[in-house]
Amino acid sequence: MSLPDFAGQPVKQVTVGAVEYTLLGTAHVSPKSLEAVKAAIDSGLYDTVAVELDANRHRQLTEPDALYRLDIFQIIRDDKIGLVAANLSLAAYQRRLADQLGIEPGAELKAASTEAVERGLRLELIDRDAGITLKRTWAKLGFFRRAQLAAGLGVSLISSDDIGEAEIEQLKQGDLLESSFGEFAKQTPQLFESIIAERDRYMAAKLLTLQGASSVRRVLAVVGAGHLAGLAQALQDADNRNPEILTALDAVPAGSNIPWFTLLLVAFLGLGFAWGFQQGGLALAGTLLLQWILITGTGGLIGCLAARGHWLSCLAAFVASPLTPLHPALSSGMVSAYVEAKMHKPTYEDLLRLKDDTTEIAGWWKNRFARILVNFILTNTGTALAVWAAGAALLLKVG
């Protein structure tokens, strides 16, 4: 078939069976990519449009008010605060790009989705859920790499500084999610595997499921330019025609069901208190217990205070911090954030301002919804640091 004018954007064609796939590589911050997508769909050559989006990201682009239906209490109960905070940070990064460059990141994906529906074409969302990608990435990293990732993501995404030319050029050639992690993505093979290589295979597998549809003959796949070569290769890999590949790539590694850290901590404290009882009876054992309570409680309290929590949230953090490290399914941040949500319940106006407020560091404290997320993170951080400090103090006593 004669290809339309793609405004100089990179294109690859792959034919598998009876289906012709046109892979259009776009830059998520380029007006030319937007023009290329519209021209391709206007050509009338395609019966199916596939886009590098999952259902949640598609909803965020096409239904801006979806954010206003968030239930903070459900988020806390489902232990999804960290994921929501990460998604908000990514959204803040995109908003900064939009303000700086004058174009909404992913505008070409939104246009492809909207115009496909308006023209009655089949629309396929082929990307993996971003939450699953983040979870799979997190599961592959060790403790220090996780700390680097969390710190780097937090600093780079809530910074109010202009985004550098190097980052913008990387976005024009690569992937929005990869660029969000900056230099860390280049230095960490596990991150590249989860964010780029796995998604190439996942999107290829989704596209190959269209082989059985009689109405599908010509597919326009709109993806970031960084996926173009990998996706073209993955489409020709027979292994990706197995539908089980999608199940495998959607699975989040469960890790060990045995809470080793909690068990070791309980054993460590038990032995320490037993030693104290043996050496000095109830008086010394009680002193060691009080030391544990004061150090861990103070750590959680400081974290909650740093989040400008309500005094009841701070009290909850102080009470919960000595106890929650001994329970694998609870955290002091969950307890404190829940109380904070009760005391300073987010309003509809907070949700309306959420996207704007979270583009600046101060906004995370100003917005009630965002401040609950900050409360969760800082209270947990304070407690975690205090647990190590309390453990070291106990060792000094025993020594």
On whether the CB atoms of residues 41 and 22 are closer than 8 A, the answer is: no
Q: What are 25's strand-pairing partners? A: 223
On whether the CB atoms of residues 184 and 148 are closer than 8 A, the answer is: yes
- Render pLDDT for 132-191 as a digit per residue (tens, 0 to 9): 887 787 777 766 666 666 665 555 555 555 555 455 545 555 555 555 554 445 556 666
Q: Locate 333 and state its tokens.
A: 């941040």
pLDDT of residue 89: 66
On whether the CB atoms of residues 300 and 338 are closer than 8 A, the answer is: no
pLDDT of residue 148: 61
On whether the CB atoms of residues 150 and 77 are closer than 8 A, the answer is: no
Rounded-to-integer distance, Cα 247 and Cα 45, Å: 32
Residue 24 backbone dihedrals phi, psi, to 5 degrees: -100, 110
pLDDT of residue 285: 83
On whether the CB atoms of residues 223 and 231 are closer than 8 A, the answer is: yes
pLDDT of residue 354: 73
Per-residue pLDDT of the chain (399 residues; tens, 9 = 90+): 556 667 678 889 999 988 999 999 887 667 788 888 888 998 889 999 999 988 888 887 777 666 556 667 777 777 777 667 766 666 666 666 666 666 666 788 888 999 999 999 999 999 998 878 877 877 777 666 666 666 655 555 555 555 554 555 455 555 555 555 544 455 566 666 767 788 899 999 999 999 878 889 999 999 988 788 889 999 998 888 888 899 888 887 765 555 677 788 888 888 888 887 787 778 888 888 899 999 999 999 999 999 999 999 999 999 999 998 888 778 898 899 999 988 988 877 777 777 777 777 788 888 888 898 889 889 988 999 999 998 888 888 776
On whether the CB atoms of residues 325 and 345 are closer than 8 A, the answer is: no
| DSSP secondary structure, 23-72, as one string | EEEE-TT-HHHHHHHHHHHHTT--SEEEES--HHHHHHHH-GGGGGG--H
Residue 221 backbone dihedrals phi, psi, to 5 degrees: -105, 115
pLDDT of residue 191: 65
Cβ neighbours of residue 124 closer than 8 Å, sequence gap 6 or more: 48, 49, 50, 51, 206, 207, 210, 219
**Tokens 């629309």, residue located:** 123
- Render pLDDT for 330-384 as a digit per residue (tens, 0 to 9): 889 889 999 998 898 887 777 777 777 777 778 888 888 889 888 988 998 899 9
pLDDT of residue 298: 95
**Residue 106: which region, alpha, beta or left (left: phi > 0; alpha: psi -120 to 50)?**
left
Rounded-to-integer distance, Cα 177 and Cα 109, Å: 14
pLDDT of residue 126: 94
Q: Locate 124 and state its tokens.
A: 């396929």
| Domain chopping of the chain, boundaries | 11-250, 260-398
pLDDT of residue 206: 94
